[in-house]
Amino acid sequence: MKTRLNITAPVLAFGLLITATGCSTPAGPAEAASTTASEASAATDTIIGEWTMATLEFQTDGQFEEVPFSGQIIFTEAGTVSVQAQNPDTSAADTAYTVQGYEAFYGEADIDADAGTFSVDVESAAARDLIGQTLTRNYEVTDDTLVLTPVNPAEGWRVTYDRAAR
């Protein structure tokens, strides 16, 4: 199920869940549907928030090797995502994602919690060629750890983030 992030859907789904579970009659189709919507919303909500980069790894000869990047990713309840990452080597060659060792982009996000993917329609980026593209990533949230990987494993990278302290 594809879920667009917004604050209204989680609040409504939660309200429907409380209403449905507060009734003494057995759950019917409407209540089952609201529970399913609530579960999907809860799965989407696990990614909402600010995440600080712990590691960025690139695959070389079948092995992942850590590279010294720092950064963050933020998923908002309003349905946007923003990414910033920095290589301490400002003389590093530009890539499709970086300019002088710096990566930054922002856009509207669609999260498919069932598939464990999200897509961002890039509205703004340091690497201008990204603007207008849709980037899709695999994600997995376990406790306070977020791991992103490419949908195409041949790209050979993995980023691990820790949920930022509140």
**Helix or strand or coil: residue 150?**
strand
**Cβ of 15: how many Cβ atoms within 10 Å?**
12
Over residues 7-43, the pLDDT tens digits come to 333 333 333 333 233 333 344 455 444 445 555 455 6
Average pLDDT over residues 47-60: 97
What global pTM score does this model have? 0.74
| 59 has a pLDDT exceeding 70 | yes
Domain residue limits, the chain:
3-45, 49-163
The 10s digit of each residue's pLDDT in 79-117 is 999 999 999 998 889 999 999 999 999 999 999 999 999
pLDDT number for residue 165? 86
C-beta separation of 133 from 122 below 8 A: yes
Three-state DSSP at 79 gives coil
Structure-model confidence comparison of residues 1 and 54, the more confident one: 54
Measured from the Cβ of residue 154, the count of other Cβ atoms closer than 10 Å reads 6
Quote the mean pLDDT of the chain.
Answer: 82
125 contact partners, CB below 8 Å, separation of at least 6 = 104, 105, 106, 131
CATH number for 49-163 (one of 3.40.1160.10, 3.40.50.2300, 2.40.128.280, 3.40.50.2030): it is 2.40.128.280
